[in-house]
Amino acid sequence: MKKNVTLAYDSYRQDEVRSGLWKFVGLLIFIAFAFWTIDVLKIPIERVLSMFGRLGTMVSERLLPPEMAYAAQPKVVDSIIETIEMSILGAVIGTFITMPLAWFAAWNVTPSRLFLYPLSRAIIVVTRGMPTLMWAMVLVAIFGFGPFAGMLALVKATIGFAGKLMAEQIEAIDMRRVEAIRATGANELDVLFYAVIPQVWANWVGIIIYNWDAQLRNSTILGFVGAGGMGLYLREQISIIEYQTAMSIIVVIIVIVVLSEMASQFLRHRLY
């Protein structure tokens, strides 16, 4: 009896020592990796140490208080309205392009698995992967400054963002209804309208609203690259080192985003 207890205790100790050793090795690797990163990225250590003091003075002396009078100027208010308009139009046009794409990109009901499915999947994956701000810079180079380029950038962002979610919703539908409609001799379009859309519509509306919310977030900084909206004034104020007026625009951005998030949550809960 006593022997068994000792054996069990020994094996427990062994496990403890082994796991402790592994943790130690892991920690060592982590530390080595951290030092390697500092070396590769050329992070100045002395600046890291004095970081908090600098951030503190920056926030207390230069950022605060925000000069809200700047954001109340007519030209800035116009740009804020332009931002919201851009997000609505980009989200709406993007949604109209996304809906058929999501249908093509759903494996279970896609009209052609050989051709349309891989094509639309590729479009969704690539638009998801491409950073919206860089895409906006490219569009500005092609179409010139202004909200039109920004709107097209948001269309791209919508296809990537909503396309994946909508296709996932279609792939999760009840296939028996699709079969029932097919059994009546319906073609693919009939199947879409009478079997697929009725099942996913409620979720799709939620996605559409959520997507608008996300695009509003994106649109607030598109002006940075000249693609319309309030980001332009933010960049202007920061480049002439007027942090307090820049802060007022940041405050406006936060307020708009929080309001839109509340609105989108309210709408989504009302609809379900």
Interface residues with other proteins (CB under 8 A) are 37, 40-44, 47-48, 51, 54-55, 58, 62-63, 82, 85-86, 88-89, 92, 125-126, 128-131, 133-135, 137-138, 141-144, 146-148, 151, 217-218, 220-221, 224-225, 228, 234, 238, 241, 243, 246, 250, 253-254, 257-258, 261
- In this structure, are residues 161 and 91 in contact, taking their beta carbons and an 8 Å threshold? no
Q: Least separation, in Å, of the C-beta of 261 and other proteins?
A: 7
Q: Least separation, in Å, of the C-beta of 54 and other proteins?
A: 5
Q: Which is nearer to other proteins, 106 or 250 (CB)?
A: 250
Q: Which is nearer to other proteins, 2 or 270 (CB)?
A: 270
Q: Which long-range contacts (CB under 8 A, 24 or more apart) does 264-271 make?
A: 264/209, 264/210, 264/212, 264/213, 267/209, 268/206, 268/209, 268/210, 271/202, 271/205, 271/206, 271/209
Q: Which is nearer to other proteins, 63 or 188 (CB)?
A: 63
Q: Which is nearer to other proteins, 25 or 262 (CB)?
A: 262
Q: Least separation, in Å, of the C-beta of 234 and other proteins?
A: 8
DSSP letters, 82-95, are: HHHHHHHHHHHHHH
Q: Which is nearer to other proteins, 6 or 12 (CB)?
A: 12
What is residue 187's DSSP assignment? -
Q: Least separation, in Å, of the C-beta of 188 and other proteins?
A: 26
Q: Least separation, in Å, of the C-beta of 264 and other proteins?
A: 12
Q: Least separation, in Å, of the C-beta of 2 and other proteins?
A: 28
Query: Is the bond into 147 cis (omega within 30 degrees of 0)?
Result: no
Q: Which is nearer to other proteins, 7 or 262 (CB)?
A: 262
What's the CA gap between 232 and 252, in Å, rounded?
A: 14
Could you give the C-alpha distances from 272 to 78, 214, 267, 268, in angstroms and in order?
35, 20, 9, 6
- In this structure, are residues 120 and 105 in contact, taking their beta carbons and an 8 Å threshold? yes
